[in-house]
Amino acid sequence: MPSKTLITTSSFDAGNGAAIKLIEDGDLEYILNPFRRKLDETELIALLEQHKPEFLIAGTETISRKTLEISKLYLKIISRCGVGMDNVDLKAANELGIKVFNTPDAPTQAVAELTIGVMLDLLRNISKSDRGVRTGDFAKSMGALLSGKTVGIIGCGRIGSAVAKLVKSFGAIAIGYDKYLKTHIDITLLSFDELLARSDIISLHIPYSEEDRHIINASAIVKMKRGAILLNISRGGLVDEDALHHALISGAISSAGIDCFEGEPYSGKLTALENVVLTPHIGSYATEARLKQEIDSVKNILDNI
């Protein structure tokens, strides 16, 4: 009987077939997420208990110690379809002998390009202008160039490094903060407070952890240049959304681009503001990147059976 693989990431293999074919060629039985959205813990546990898979290709749903304890008798490998593994209790998985892998290279360019896209949108008021034209308002809104701006990158790993290269190609200056690095070939590393004070644009590219929860909060915003731009194309929970809302209203921050929220789907008070660009956690949602992520997530399993 083929080993079972539960696939919980919500849009897996939508329309391309390559990753599913790889599973089938590996003589694995697969079960897709029946809800086609992010699962809550109860739904995940129910699916695990129903199918008792040896392998799990996971999305961004929380995989807690409780979930791992329940599935420890049959679950052998978790392959995270994406970079971040902050949604998985890695300590518990290690203690229970469950191997955990991710796909660190696949989403890099997609997330970096979305970051630049949102950055340019905010600088040139593209979405705001589009909304105006659609409602009969043809007033022109003066924008600004990325060239010459100082872009502060918080988290200088794969994605942060890719963002640095892209902004420098526009003639911007890349500075960064990374608690794990002392030097970087493309980024001038500074302390966190120095980065806040010097950046015209701040872009977050770190995984979520309790230590970094609300790393951008009211205290951090006070240290930023007045009128700076903030982007979070990384993980929900890194930005205090109430503090951000206040800063956007007061002008302490001129505009923001947010792709990740503390609670998703998001319907909070940021949706009422004109000076934000909000996207529904689409950082890796480029066809090429998504396909590579899914194939790599399957290979993680096949290479470790």
Catalytic residue among 235, 245, 290, 294: 235
Domain ranges, ordered by start, for the chain: 3-106+287-302, 108-278
Which fold would CATH assign to domain 3-106+287-302?
Answer: Rossmann fold (3.40.50)
Output the pLDDT for position 17.
86
Pull the structure tokens for residue 167.
């902004």
Does 3-106+287-302 match 108-278 in CATH topology? yes
Tokens 């977050």, located at residue: 204
Annotation says 264 is catalytic: yes
pLDDT tens series, the chain, 305 aa = 679 999 999 888 866 689 999 999 999 999 999 999 999 999 999 999 999 999 999 998 999 999 999 999 999 999 999 888 989 999 999 999 999 999 999 999 999 999 999 999 999 999 999 999 999 999 999 999 999 999 999 999 999 999 999 999 999 999 999 999 999 999 999 999 999 999 999 999 999 999 999 999 999 999 999 999 999 999 999 999 999 999 999 999 999 999 999 998 999 999 999 999 999 999 989 999 999 999 999 999 999 99
Annotation says 80 is catalytic: no
Output the pLDDT for position 84.
84
Annotation says 281 is catalytic: yes
Residue range 108-278, CATH number: 3.40.50.720
Catalytic residue among 69, 264, 274, 288: 264
DSSP states of the chain as a string? Answer: -PEEEEE-STTTTTTT-HHHHHHHHTTEEEEE-TTSS---HHHHHHHHHHH--SEEEE-SS-B-HHHHHHHTTT--EEEESSS--TTB-HHHHHHHT-EEE---STTHHHHHHHHHHHHHHHHHTHHHHHHHHHTT---------STT-EEEEE--SHHHHHHHHHHHHTT-EEEEE-TT-S--SSSEE--HHHHHHH-SEEEE-----GGGTTSBSHHHHHHSPTTEEEEE-S-TTSB-HHHHHHHHHHTSEEEEEES--SSSS--SGGGG-SSEEE-SS-TT-SHHHHHHHHHHHHHHHHTT-
Phi, then psi, of 253 in degrees rounded to 5: -115, 130
Catalytic residue among 205, 245, 281, 290: 281
